[in-house]
């Protein structure tokens, strides 16, 4: 069996997605997500110019060999563009293998460890009142776990506050927007937000929060402490993690569980965090960390250190990624939680899928492969539109972490 051809599809049903399709000489095909928010065309060119020509003629069943060929064989290792491209190939090959076997990918990985994967939704509002109301709507929808983000009085914009109710999308068309950020203001208002949410709804639901890299380690330590009475499921991206040592300081001050890793591209980004048990949840995800083949390695290493998975799953990860994540989450023994942001209806139509939200959990049937497809006719209706994530600056103009 050989890979006969492969190509990418760029589509923008509300936001940009890059999808790789690999077709075999026997007609079986697989798809993989290759979307890197704000840098979509870099991955597209990496695949078209440098990866696809090397795939033609290879045996698509040799997933591990192709992974090693693309990782070691490039000489230049790691990095988000490379690892997203490798992930797209890897996902498509697992999809093909599942279809050949007549089994879902979670069966190939080792079968089901659970019936469904717990997901968390995104309640947010321009102020505490709106955010608290939004939490109520997520509880009504059946969510067991809810991330809460609110605007901060005195700031025009804050991370995680959407324009509409259900479809949070951080990227904007055109060149990057710039937003002003003020950490002391945020630190003053955030514990109060969680006190009000607990007062309103009690302690029966898991609450999560994303600091989105804005704090220094000592600021994050303070927030973690201040949030302890409200029993968070996790505080995410408390501080940037290029320096993995930075988490030691946060860890030594607070028992609020810590999650990090949505921008990691390999095990090497989280090796120290995991082996020193500086975090509780690893958020590395299939599409940005080298596919199922590599995320499985990260998860197995994490399991040795009692760190559980909490994969990224924002709207910039396509339904192909979500289908892969649900398969992975059904299997992985040290599963923690899966992020889930609803895609627009147009996106769901371009990517018909089997996974579905049932009472706080994502479920899927025993369908061969990943259980997701790409409708290329519909995809062609939505041409690429340049879009970027915002850039943050402090009040004096200094560029900060968005
Ligand atoms: O900002 O996916 O936890 N989720 C997040 C996301 C990220 C976007 C960046 O592309 O932090 O909203
Ligand atoms: Co995040």
| Max CA distance (Å), the chain | 61
| For ligand 1, atom 10: residue with the closest CA | 37
Residue 385 lies in a domain: no
**Residues at CB less than 6 angstroms from ligand 1:** 37, 170, 210, 212, 262, 312, 314, 316, 339, 389
Ligand nearest to the CA of 392: 1
Dump pLDDT digits (tens) for 188-209.
Answer: 999 999 999 999 999 999 999 9
Distance 92 CA to ligand 2 centre (A): 25
CB atoms within 10 A of CB 192: 12
pLDDT, position 168: 79
| Whether residue 253 sits in one domain with residue 159 | yes
Q: Look at ligand 1, atom 9, and give the residue with the nearest C-alpha.
A: 37
How does DSSP classify residue 280?
Answer: S
For residue 320, the SS3 value is helix
Q: What is the pLDDT of residues 283-311, one digit of tens each?
A: 999 999 999 999 999 999 999 999 999 99
Is there a single domain that holds both residue 122 and residue 261?
yes
Same domain, 265 and 147: yes
Active-site residue, 159 included: yes
Same domain, 184 and 320: yes
Atom 4 of ligand 1 has which residue's CA nearest to it?
314
Q: Which atom of ligand 1 is nearest to the CA of 315?
A: 2
- Which two structure tokens, joined as six digits, stand for 270? 């989280």
Q: Which ligand is nearest to the CA of 237?
A: 2
Q: What is the pLDDT of residues 212-256, one digit of tens each?
A: 999 999 999 999 999 999 999 999 999 999 999 999 999 999 999
Q: Final residue of a domain: which of 104, 121, 154?
A: 104
Task: Provide the number of structural domains found in the chain.
Answer: 2
Regions in the chain scoring below 50 on pLDDT: none
Contact assessment for residue 148 and residue 124, using Cβ atoms and an 8 Å cutoff = yes
Per-residue tokens: 362: 């994502």
Assess if residue 182 is contained within a domain. Answer: yes
Cα 252 to middle of ligand 1, angstroms: 26
> Do residue 77 and residue 155 come from a single domain?
no
Nearest protein Cα to ligand 1, atom 8: 314
Beta strand 308-309 pairing with 281-282: parallel
180 domain residue, yes or no: yes
Tell me if 235 sits within 8 A of 214, measured CB to CB. no
Q: What pLDDT score was predicted for residue 166?
A: 65
Ligand 1 atom with minimal separation from the 237 CA: 11
Contact 41, 175 (CB under 8 A): no
Structural domain of 66: 3-104
- State whether the Cα torsion 192-195-201-204 is positive or negative: positive
Is 58 within a domain?
yes
* CATH code for position 64: 3.30.390.10
Last residue of a domain, one of 74, 104, 134: 104
Q: Do 53 and 202 reside in the same domain of the chain? A: no
Name the active-site residue from 159, 281, 355, 382.
159
Q: How many CA atoms lie within 13 A of 134 on its CB side?
A: 29
Domain co-membership, 77 together with 128: no
Whether residues 74 and 151 share a domain: the answer is: no
Tokens of 334: 């040290």
String of DSSP letters for 36-65: -TT-HHHHHHIIIIIIHHHHTTS-TT-HHH
221: in domain: yes
Same domain, 255 and 131: yes
User: 131, 194 in Cβ contact below 8 A?
Assistant: no
DSSP code per residue over 66-107: HHHHHHTTTSS---HHHHHHHHHHHHHHHHHHHHHHTSBHHH
* pLDDT for residue 165: 61
234 and 350 belong to one structural domain: yes
Residue 245 maps to which CATH number? 3.20.20.120
């Amino acid at each position: 069996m050989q890979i006969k051809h492969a190509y990418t599809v760029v589509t923008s049903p509300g936001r940009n997605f890059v999808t790789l399709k690999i077709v075999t000489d026997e007609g079986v095909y697989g798809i993989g997500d290759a979307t890197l928010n704000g840098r979509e065309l870099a991955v597209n060119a990496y695949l078209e110019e440098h990866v696809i020509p090397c795939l033609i003629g290879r045996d698509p069943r040799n997933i591990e060999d192709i992974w090693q060929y693309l990782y070691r064989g490039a000489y230049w290792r790691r990095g988000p563009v490379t690892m997203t491209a490798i992930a797209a190939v890897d996902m498509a090959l697992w999809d093909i293998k599942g279809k050949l076997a007549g089994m879902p990918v979670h069966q190939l990985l080792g079968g089901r460890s659970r019936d469904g994967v717990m997901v968390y939704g995104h309640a947010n509002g321009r102020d505490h009142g709106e955010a608290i109301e939004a939490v109520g709507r997520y509880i009504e929808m059946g969510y067991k776990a809810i991330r809460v983000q609110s605007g901060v009085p005195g700031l025009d914009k804050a991370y995680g506050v959407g324009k509409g109710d259900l479809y949070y999308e951080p990227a904007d068309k055109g060149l990057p927007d710039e937003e002003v950020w003020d950490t002391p203001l945020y630190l003053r208002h955030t514990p109060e937000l969680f006190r009000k949410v607990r007062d309103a709804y009690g302690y029966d639901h898991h609450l999560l929060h994303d600091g989105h890299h804005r704090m220094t380690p000592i600021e994050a330590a303070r927030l973690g402490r201040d949030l302890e009475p409200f029993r968070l499921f996790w505080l995410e991206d408390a501080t940037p993690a290029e320096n993995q040592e930075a988490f030691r300081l946060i860890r030594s001050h607070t028992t609020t569980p810590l999650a990090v890793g949505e921008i990691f591209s390999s095990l090497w980004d989280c090796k120290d965090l995991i082996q020193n048990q500086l975090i509780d949840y690893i958020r590395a995800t299939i599409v940005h960390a080298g596919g199922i083949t590599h995320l499985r390695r990260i998860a197995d290493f994490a399991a040795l250190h009692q760190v559980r998975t909490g994969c990224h799953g924002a709207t910039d990860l396509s339904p192909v990624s979500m289908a892969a994540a649900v398969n992975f989450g059904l299997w992985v023994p040290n599963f923690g939680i899966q992020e889930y942001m609803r895609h627009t209806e147009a996106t769901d139509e371009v990517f018909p899928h089997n996974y579905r939200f049932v009472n706080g959990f994502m479920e899927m049937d025993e369908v061969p492969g990943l259980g997701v497809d790409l409708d290329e006719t519909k995809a062609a209706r939505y041409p690429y539109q340049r879009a970027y994530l915002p850039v943050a600056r402090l009040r004096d103009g200094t560029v900060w972490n968005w």
